[in-house]
Amino acid sequence: MQRGTSLETIVVAIDVRLARDPKGLASRYAAAMSGWLERLDTSPSDALVVAVRAQHFERWLSPRDAYPKTRPGYLAWRRAAMIDQAERLSELLRSLDLDVTFVDRVVALVTKKNLKSDAEVQTLEDCACLTFIERAWAEFAAGRSADQLRRVVTRTVAKMSPRAIGLIKETDIDEAALAELTRFAEGRTP
């Protein structure tokens, strides 16, 4: 992994950069992601620990409003943001004199290369989906139609492993939101 750099030092370096978020959201998001990782994998690789912590590394530097407020615009922004984040994270990791193989692995995880065939990428995706459900679902659901919510839940659940789907009921969201989310996840109509 590294040449004299501890995992703790890497995580601290990431956290220092995340603390620069002007809205103060990045550090809480990273902590939530790491919390889900602890529940999903009792012995994650160092690369997975780093990738999960940095999954939205400096995302605030890639403004969403630079893209159209459409689904294709969102997807284009998300892809561009992912690439920008991975490049900035790679620079940080290289500055810590980490092994190139380790840096490349972290970047592959953050950019979700081989999502369907790489178990660690799937675990990162599970963390992201559970974090979205727990931290953003209620706000996201407000004002959206049942059809819109059904599509989003269907897409989200399709990206999750069976184990992660089972953890939806353990998210820290209010009972009404959980009931709504579960109803859509199970394919029941309102």
DSSP string, 10-73: HHHHHHHHHTT-TTS-HHHHHHHHHHHHHHH-SS--HHHHHHHHTTTTTGGGS-GGGS-SSHHH
Domain ranges, ordered by start, for the chain: 1-111, 119-190
Instruction: Give the integer Cα–Cα distance in Å for 120 and 55.
Output: 13
For residue 6, the model assigns a pLDDT of: 94
For residue 136, the model assigns a pLDDT of: 87
Q: How far is CA 115 from CA 21, 63, 151, 154, 181, in A?
A: 28, 25, 20, 17, 24
Whole-model pTM? 0.90
The answer to whether residues 126 and 161 touch, using CB atoms and an 8 Å cutoff, is yes
Instruction: Give the integer Cα–Cα distance in Å for 51 and 123.
Output: 11
For residue 190, the model assigns a pLDDT of: 47
What single letter denotes the amino acid at residue 16? V
SS3 (DSSP) at 133 = helix
For residue 188, the model assigns a pLDDT of: 52
User: What average pLDDT values come out for the chain (190 residues) when binned by 10 residues?
Assistant: 81 98 96 97 97 97 94 95 97 96 97 93 97 88 84 86 89 79 64
For residue 150, the model assigns a pLDDT of: 81
